[in-house]
Amino acid sequence: MLIDSHVNLHAPQFDEDRDAVIARARDAGVALMVNISDRVSNFAACRALADQPDIWCTVGTHPHEAKEDPDLSAKTLVDLARDPRVVGIGECGLDFHYDLSPREIQARVFRAHVAAARETGLPLVVHTRESDDVMGDILEAEYAAGPFRMLMHCYTSGADLARRAAALGAWFSVSGIATFKAAEDVRAVIRNMPAERIIVETDCPYLAPVPYRGRRNEPAYVPHVLAKLAEIRGWSPDEADQRTTDAFFALFDRIPRP
């Protein structure tokens, strides 16, 4: 069962042909997609696409956008997450590569998301870039205050943070980056991820896998990510499909399994 666990279908890159993109995904066998909230102020656009039976959504604010609402409360996220089509909290986290929001605001807003994930029981969709030590410290401190489930989305950070997150029970998602020729360090980490907690994503419209690298990404390309994961882990295609499907529904358990 092909599932794209992280799409940004409400992004402006799809404004000209969104319906065709979704149709191509279905034609490619993609049975479910999770449309990811980029910021709470834009949640309505993200949620609108989740009226379709095979598209669900999350609620949250990306670290790039954290400065937009530095006092974002867990209550705001919890209230929006009462919508039954909302299946996760995020995308949220820390991005110290671009620093488009001040780091202290990123951390404060991230902690609000953690609190919302803890309260709702929904999985936290975590973005982390060049922030391994701080991210690991926050996750461990917050988990000690009360457990929550988390997905390390599009994971390309280091092996040490992967180990720390896995010890807290984290899931990991693999993206098209795994297909890039120069990404052997990413593949090395993927080989050691917990086998029962790996899922796949496109993160479209970004990070198109080989052989589409450099083009706009689409959910229809997720089979290439799954095939690369199977190769990296030494799984058959059927085993990769079964394992990632089982892991997806174990994490996103608000979605009924067909």
Where does residue 218 fall: left (phi above 0), alpha (psi -120 to 50 degrees), or beta otherwise?
Answer: beta
If one counts every other C-beta atom within 10 angstroms of the C-beta of residue 84, the result is 9
Q: How far apart are CA 239 and CA 231, in angstroms?
A: 11
Q: Where are the domains of the chain?
A: 2-251
CATH superfamily of 2-251: Metal-dependent hydrolases (3.20.20.140)
Q: Which amino acid is at 11?
A: A
What is the tens place of the pLDDT at every residue in 76-98?
999 999 999 999 999 999 999 99
H or E stretch including 147? none
The structure's pTM equals 0.98
- CB proximity list for 223: less than 8 A, separation 6 or greater: 2, 28, 29
What is the tens place of the pLDDT at every residue in 195-242?
999 999 999 999 999 999 999 999 999 999 999 999 999 999 999 999
- CB proximity list for 134: less than 8 A, separation 6 or greater: 94, 96, 103, 107
